[in-house]
Structure 1
Amino acid sequence: MNERSSARLSTVLALLVAVLAVSSSAPLIVFAAAPALAIAFWRNALAALALTPITYGPRRAEIAGASRRAKVFGVLAGVALAAHFATWMPSVQLGSVATAAALVATQPVWQGLIAAAQGRRPSTAGWIGIALAVAGAAWATGADIGVSPQAVFADVLALLGGVFAAVYTALGERARVELRTTTYTWICYTTCAVILLVVCLTAGLDLTGYDDHTWAAILALVVGAQLLGHSMFSYALQQTSATTISVLILLEVPGAALLAWLWLGQEPRLAALPGLALLLAGVVVFILGAARAARPAVDPALPD
């Protein structure tokens, strides 16, 4: 197997592990008996702690030698990641796993609109996809109006989570041009953890005193969704685009909904399912339209 084929295989395996890992995120958040923002803090803080020996060991020279531009993009990605967690994770606890996972999956649409703002306008198929996704989101949210105001608020938070996820991915793509996976994720997770710590302390949220099941869920989030999920997506950005990553993240929706149903007994709300299906169809149409309209340049590969 030549070097190029080996890199492609590594990327495919990284993406497979990432999808499986992030699918467990929402059910674990619901299972954990702790405030969502506190869970978000611990998953980032513990992940950053786990990466510190590597970053300040074998990778110390990379941090010292990285350009200010790369570091700034890494920090900004951490800020966007904090905003993503601060909106999406509470939405999972306030609403349903299936709806929250689907609404946050609008990330590719927001990614496309970011590209449009940079001068790369979506194709006709892209605009159709946006319209379908918006209609699906409106349908799903409308179905929740009859459930409770809390469910609608959860839907709004999940949509905002999708917006911030798109910003996080776009900024990470810029930082990864120069930074290796471990260095970039350490900068990003550390920034995110510091911001969430300030928010938790300001809000007076308990950061300790949880039962064993909650700590086990938090550790599972760190190892799974955080270190294997987000980090593997960051690694894959060396060989593929942010748009492709956004498409594959869609597989989290059925995976999370199935886990929540089988493990937590949380059945998807039937009235919302047509809207969720329309939303996902719109996102797929948008992605396919974007893929046909342009082939985004791949960032130079950096060995890790």
Structure 2
Amino acid sequence: MNMRSPAPTVAALAVAVLAVSSSAPLIAFAAAPALAIAFWRNSLATVALTPIALGPRRAEVRRAVRGRAGMFCVLAGLALAVHFATWMPSVQLGSVATATALVATQPVWQGLIAAAQGRRPNAAGWLGIGLAVAGAAWATGVDLGVSAQAVFADVLALLGAIAAAVYTALGERARTELSTTTYTWICYGTCAVVLLAVCLVGGVRLSGYDSHTWAAILAIVAGAQLLGHSMFNYALQHVSATTVSVLILLEVPGAALIAWWWLGQAPRADSLPGLVLLLAGVAVVVLQRASFQVLRR
């Protein structure tokens, strides 16, 4: 960490963790279909970024649309739509704690994507993957005794994690040429259009919610969608990406505690060992990837 400005950086990280931790409880609280919430969070975030994207970044947006970077932005937006269309329903169908923990396996799938591209994990990486998979199996096995709906929610959360890994891999390609604002504007916009089409075809209600639900949707947009990611990006100027990646894992206990306090969703005691094992495995994967990158330099 840059010791010249530790207080702002620590504050930014605290705000970011709290912002992303609030996402799943707010989704569970909102009296609206998960797909509709996913559409609104992406469309409103796109609207918020439009003055910058079509103002100072207009020339860059034009170049992106004409080149390969724009294609990767669109593909990333499609993957993000799949992520939201699977993970967000899992939060409403199952428990906040389990859904958040399972979607946190994204770095594991990211590692497997890297392995398929020829960048194979080392022994520590495979150990982390094994621990995370075992933890996910434990948590899902516990849900087998709860209901078929809980197991379905677990499967959706895992699919959401895989889609998030694909989204990140495509975004990595796009970000080599584009700024964060241009990339996210095209990506979020694509995601919103896809989710709108899905909602219209599926007859998902997009309006008519009560004021509490609209407040929850706006809180998700301002918090997890814009503020959380922005604060993490700010912190990257002062701390390593590995530190940020590990801190993001605090979303899991953070979301569980908020859901327990606010929604009365106490985590199931028999699933806790599996969730702890899962998080330990993800942490090992994140740390070994950072070590590999340092050794390559």
Structure 1 pair 252–243 and aligned structure 2 pair: CA distance change class (3 A):
same
Q: Partner residue of 1:302?
A: none
In 2, distance between residues paired with 1:10 and 1:70? 33
In 2, the alpha carbon distance for the partners of 1:176 and 1:58 equals 18
2:160 corresponds to which letter in structure 1?
Answer: G
1:19 aligns with 2:21: no
Where 2:294 maps in the other structure, the secondary structure is: coil
User: What is the letter of the counterpart of residue 114 of structure 1?
Assistant: I
| Map of 2:88 onto structure 1 | 89
Which residue of 2 is the match for residue 301 of structure 1? none
Give 5+ residue unaligned stretches, structure 1: 299-304
Q: How does the TM-score come out when normalised to structure 1? A: 0.89
Cα distance change of structure 1 residues 133 and 32 upon mapping to structure 2, 3 Å threshold = same
* 2:44 equivalent in structure 1: 46
Deviation at 1:178, TM superposition (A): 1.8
CA distance in 2, matches of 1:6, 1:64: 38
Per the alignment, in what secondary structure is the counterpart of residue 138 of structure 1? helix
Report the CA distance between 1:246 and its aligned residue. Answer: 4.0
- Measured in 2, the distance between the counterparts of 1:242 and 1:75 equals 25
What is the number of equivalent residue pairs in this alignment? 295
Aligned partner of 2:158 in structure 1 is: 159
Match of 1:35 in 2: 33
Query: What displacement does 1:294 show?
Result: 3.0
The residue aligned with 2:285 is 286
**Does the 8 Å CA contact 1:173/1:242 hold for their aligned counterparts?**
no
Structure 2 distance, partners of 1:136, 1:113, is: 17
**Unaligned stretches of 5+ residues in structure 2:** none
Matches within 5 A, 1:1-304: 15-66=13-64, 68-233=67-232, 246-295=245-294
User: CA separation of 1:182/1:192 partners in 2, compared to 1, >3 Å: closer, same or farther?
Assistant: same
Letter paired with 2:255: A
Alpha-carbon deviation of 1:6?
8.2
Q: 1:104 to 1:274 in 2, by over 3 A?
A: same
Structure 1 counterpart SS, 2:205 = coil
CA contact (8 A) 2:98 2:139 kept: yes
- Provide Cα deviations, 1:26-56, integer angstroms capped at 9, x if missing partner: 0000110000000000010111011111111
- Contact 1:40–1:89 under 8 Å retained in 2: yes
How many angstroms does 1:237 deviate by? 7.3
Instruction: Give a deviation string over 1:85-128, Cα, whole Å, max 9, x none.
Output: 00000000000000000000001101111111111100101111
Distance 2:238 2:72 in 1: 19
CA contact (8 A) 2:242 2:287 kept: no
Preserved CA contact (<8 Å) 1:140 1:272:
yes
101-110 vs 177-186, which moves further: 177-186
Whether the 8 Å CA contact 1:132–1:281 is kept in 2: the answer is yes
> What letter matches 1:273 in structure 2?
L
Contact 1:181 1:231 (8 Å CA) reproduced: no
Q: CA deviation at 1:166?
A: 1.2
Alpha-carbon distance between aligned partners in 1 of 2:197 and 2:249, rounded to the nearest angstrom: 31
Q: Is the 8 A contact 1:170 1:242 kept in 2?
A: no
What TM-score comes out, normalization by structure 2 length?
0.91
**40-49 vs 229-238, which deviates more?**
229-238
Residue 172 (structure 1) shift: 1.5
Q: Shift of residue 249 of structure 1?
A: 2.2
